[in-house]
Amino acid sequence: MSISCHTPTSAGESPGLQFALYRDGTILYQFSSASEWHISPAQTEQLAYYTCAVRPSKREGEQRSAAVYIHMQEVVSGLVLNVNQNTITEGDTLSLTCDIQGSRYGNNAQLKFNFYKRTNGLPQSSSTDQQFQLLPSSLSSEYRVPSVRVQHSGEYVCAAVRPDNTVIIWSSPITIQIPEMFSKPKLRVSPNPITEGSARTLTCGTTSSTVSTRELQFAFYWDGQELQGFSSSNQYQAYSVQLQKSGNYKCAVQHPAKKIKKESDMFNIRVVEMFSKPKLSVSPNPITEGSALTLTCGTTSSTVSTRELHFAFYWDGQELQGFSSSNQYRAYSVQLEDSGNYKCAVQHPLTGISKKSEVSYIRVEEMFSKPELRVSSNPITEGSALTLTCGTTSSTVSTRELQFAFYWYGQELQGFTSSNQYQVYSVQLEDSGNYTCEVQHPTKNIKKTSVLSCIQVTGGAVRPVVSLSPNWANILTGDKVTLTCDVGSTAGTAPRYSWYKDSEMMNKDTLTNKHTINYAWKTNSGTYQCQTDTSERSEPVSVSVTDGPLILQAPLYVYEGDSLTMRCYRMFGWDTMFYKDNNPVGPTYGDELHIEGVNMTVTGTYRCSKGKTYQSGEVFISVRELFSRPEIKVSPCPPAEGSNMTITCDTVLHPSRITTPLLFAFYINGNTVREFSLSKKYRVYSTGPGDWGDYSCAVRTPTGTVLKLSSVTHIQIHAKSRNVLLSVGLPLLAIIILIIAVGIYKFRHKIGQTKPPSDQSNTGIPLSKTPAVAKDEEPVYHQIQTGAPPAEQDMFYTYIDVSHLKKTSPAPPPNPNNNEIIYSQVMPSK
């Protein structure tokens, strides 16, 4: 209730006045500047007279108002707390309503209601405000709980309050008891304790009071992770428990429709270890190359016998010995490459429990180092002495226990002896090549090969080459010709040149490498040579000077693949004809004859004519080989399984054309493994049985005008020994070899009676009518690829190599459907 005191001159608070309030003549509020007072219901009485007084500030004398009679009456006569239903089950909706009785308000809009629940532990003699805890406020006369829990059970009251939250009246308390739908679950474990590898069953038990157990759902958790989501089954089973499944387990029960969920207490499950993590032990340690090695996989079994366990061993991830009852692995002669990471594993085959040891690195100590092939002098001059030394450093044995051997292109030069040197007292150019050496310990079966060393035997000195410009070997009187002495890059800096004609010195120690004849006379004809102060004398070059009237001019040298131009020189007019071995050749272009991409067939004697009157002298043209027929060379030889293999397509360019680029291609079993490229080497990394086969190579010029094939080289990869006892494999291999031998014998006996086909009409090649086979010899049959070469290849060289065949080789059975097979009879010369 609010009471205010008004004066004619001032309303509200007047700065110069003070006000006071009296009730039934007794002062209720002393003089102050406030002229309005708020009176709580506790300060009112049922009947009272109120007056107010006013006076000037801090001065005596006051004036009082007329008395006002105020009669106080009850606003609400009664309040009742009602619940929505008599029986409320866990999960139901709880609704409490606060109903007013005897209200003097026209409506209850000016009232609000508070709901309270008794606070546990306070005596009922305490005031109502202390006994009950205010529940969350509600703007209406209803308090709702959508899904009640057991903890909502208790004593409740409500109160009607004014806008300033003063309580007008309290209801009588009511007690609400909410029965439990189902009890808090309890997790049971069977068996307990549990052993690693055995089966385990978890049961989530609960007692349902108001619902059927079939309405409930169960879930299981391990260390906070869900093992089995909510389902109708109250059990979770694991058939082979692992050690790492130890931890804290719990279960949960829910009623999906009423959203009631309860969790069990945490249950700690410890899985008992069946056997300990294995430990790999090595004996001896450290271990030396060639020694015996024993690996032991140790473990301690807790709940099973060691005889029930199986053991396995691994090296760098590869299985050495599969699971067996033996906890040991033995290698009787370890190699250096057996160093690596080893581990073992233990398993119980019935339960599937398996454990691995930590990785142990085993380093096999080297008995002696990989040998190094040393050359007494390099480069080596033809005719000098050569000494090869196979050097090695022995770590655990004396050098006197070792043996040494030497090889050239894989062929044995000197077998195993105690000497680590091999000597050649006068080396020749053909001794150039790839050399290796080997060291072995004969009793411990340890053998090592050096890196391949290429030894090049050179001539006593560099030999220069004389060339002509213009490049004509015969000229007419009065012509000019320049001779050039080319020694390449091996002659050193600023050489001095000497020139010879017909083996007699013309001039000596000149600084220029050219000799020019400005006006040729017949006396200039002869052979010319040059020499530097550090080289041999060049090959002689012939220069022929004639009076004519007609000569055939040709280059000094002609090489395979060159474009050859010959000129019928000096006489003009008339029709020009060229002859080779007295047979006309062409086509001609005026006074010149051009031949593109020459080969060996161009070699011959040439001349030319002008009309029927003039004939030139004969000129012999010999086509030189541009490069030699290639050879396959293998490094290392023989290659070992798992090693890197390098195959070289070796050929030699003519010294005068040493700068000519060549392209190389490689084949295995007739299939291309690398197309043509500038590299003469083909590398195979980590060789295996799949790299066995017949290798060949081809060399050609970039334009393809010259192409040559090597002969076929069979390469077999030597298997890498792993020191495993082949108790079954070796007898089986012997049986297979015996079967193959019998089969080959029968096959040869059968096809040896087959005669070659008589109908050769499809080959397009006439056969000689003269028998070419001796009575005591059988013909040799060879398959030849026919057909034109590819368009970009102008020339192809090949031949039939029968040197590797026996004198008697049976013919294959006839195949009339294959027209590309040509049967030839090749007889050795007598």
The DSSP 8-state label assigned to residue 742 in this structure reads H
pLDDT for the residue numbered 800:
52
Confidence (pTM): 0.39
**548-552 long-range contacts, Cβ below 8 Å, gap at least 24?**
548/476, 548/477, 549/614, 550/608, 550/609, 550/610, 550/614, 550/615, 550/616, 551/474, 551/475, 551/476, 551/616, 551/617, 552/474, 552/578, 552/606, 552/607, 552/608, 552/616, 552/617, 552/618, 552/619
Give CA–CA dist 451/15, Å, rounded.
Answer: 118
Domains of the chain from N-terminus onward: 2-71 (2.60.40), 76-176 (2.60.40.10), 186-272 (2.60.40.10), 279-365 (2.60.40.10), 372-458 (2.60.40.10), 469-624 (2.60.40.10), 631-715 (2.60.40.10), 755-830 (no CATH)
CA atoms within 13 A on the CB side of 325: 4
- In the predicted model, residues of the chain with pLDDT beneath 70 are 1, 9-15, 40-46, 72-75, 102-110, 120-130, 137-139, 378, 459-462, 489-493, 571, 719-732, 746-830
User: In this structure, what are the phi and psi dihedrals at residue 255, rounded to the nearest 5 degrees?
Assistant: -105, 105
Short-list 344, 342, 353, CA closest to 326: 344
The b-or-e profile of 437-451 (16+ CB within 10 A means b, else e) is bbbbbeeeebebbbe
pLDDT for the residue numbered 138:
62
Give CA–CA dist 375/537, Å, rounded.
Answer: 29
pLDDT for the residue numbered 127:
53
Which strand (E) or helix (H) includes residue 638? none
pLDDT for the residue numbered 88:
85
pLDDT for the residue numbered 14:
55
SS3 per residue for 94-163 = EEEEEEEEEECCCCHHHCEEEEEEECCCCCCCCCHHHHEEECCCECCCEEEECCCCHHHCEEEEEEEECC
Give CA–CA dist 53/34, Å, rounded.
Answer: 12
Q: Which residues contact 385 (CB under 8 A, 6 or more apart)?
A: 376, 423, 424, 425, 426, 427
pLDDT for the residue numbered 818:
40
Give CA–CA dist 1/75, Å, rounded.
Answer: 13
* Peptide bond preceding 286 in cis form (omega within 30 of 0): yes
pLDDT for the residue numbered 258:
85
Q: Where are the beta strands (DSSP E) in 661-739?
A: 663-668, 671-677, 681-684, 693-700, 707-709, 713-715
